[in-house]
Amino acid sequence: MPRLIDSRYTPLIAVALIALLLPLIFPSPYYYRIGALVFIFALAVIGLNLLMGFAGQVSLGHAGFLGIGAYAVAVGPTHLGLPSWFCIFAGAGASALVAYAVGQPILRLKGHYLAVATLGFGIVISIVLTNEAGWTGGPDGMSVQRLVLFGWPMHGSKIWYWIGAGTLLVGVALALNLIDSPSGRALQAIHDSEVAAQVLGVRVARKKLSVFVISAVYASVAGSYLALLNGHVTPDLAGFMRSIELVAMVVLGGMGSVFGSLVGAAVLVVLPQALTSFHDYEHMMLGLIVMGFMILLRRGIVPALGAALTGRAL
């Protein structure tokens, strides 16, 4: 097949096509909301995938950054009178700073020790959000003012579908850029052999820290969007189960597959919606699905499909 376009950007084109064509088959406006949720989660998952799938560093506390982003757009406008759009950036900046500060000691740890440390970080964030009720409304959370851009209120699922899709495209493009760059190669090298990367001159600690910060920013922006879409935030958003959900999305879609991040997010956003009719059995089904995928499609959906279809990973 002639290569009309650089195959490196296949995922970017795929995401763009999906976002454009999906509304054609939406039976009701409600589906815009689900689409928006998928795109927003996919954004966070791509960031986490850069950390986990490419650099090989586990984070069981990434929802903490979702929480920082979400509460930035909740607290900033309400308590400080800052514009919401500014708070998206402020939240991203805060997440980057927190990731930078926390990452220095934490990323020295390996394997399960890193898992505990990141888990602890996530829990600390959710405890702070729960306890500082004066700012955050405590366990019940707080409402979020609508985003207003150039005098226009950004309200409704449809708008957030397109904002989510647009931002996701930017996120995908940046991730693809990073993967095929000196930093990206260094990160993948670290994943396979830290010591070999190091003797080739890779500043391992610095590279890990930079991808941790990047992934935190992705999650933070996603968190801000979720809060603005829902109009309400609770500390659950930063909780352990959310972190697990993010990791499950990464692994389900495929570690190290940018397009897989979208698929993983789609599966775990859509399934619970589809399962609400089973209400009582929702958790059981969810548990079974996660286990089933992990056992049967170990490499994740997209890499497994890619291998089956073309003999190489997408």
Site for other proteins in 202-261 (CB under 8 A): 202-204, 207, 210, 214, 240-241, 244, 247-248, 251, 255-256
Is 29 an interacting residue with respect to other proteins (CB under 8 A)?
Answer: no
Among positions 253-312, residues that touch other proteins (CB under 8 A) are: 255-256, 280-291, 294-295, 298
User: Which range touches other proteins (CB under 8 A), out of 10-18, 20-28, 79-87, 124-132?
Assistant: 124-132
Shortest CB 36 distance to other proteins, Å: 25
CA-based R_g, the chain, Å:
19
Total residues contacting other proteins (rule CB under 8 A)?
72
3-state secondary structure string across 255-299: CCCHHHHHHHHHHHHHHHHHHHHHHHHHHHHHHHHHHHHHHHCCC
Is 170 an interacting residue with respect to other proteins (CB under 8 A)?
Answer: no
Q: Where are the alpha helices (DSSP H) in 55-110?
A: 63-75, 84-106
- Candidates 10, 78, 145, 198; binder of other proteins (CB under 8 A) is 198
How would you label 120-141 residue by residue, b for 16+ Cβ within 10 Å and e otherwise? Answer: ebbbebbebbbeeeebbbeeeb
Of 261, 223, 215, 251, give the one whose Cα is nearest residue 239.
223
Shortest CB 115 distance to other proteins, Å: 7
Shortest CB 52 distance to other proteins, Å: 7
Shortest CB 206 distance to other proteins, Å: 9
Is 100 an interacting residue with respect to other proteins (CB under 8 A)?
Answer: no
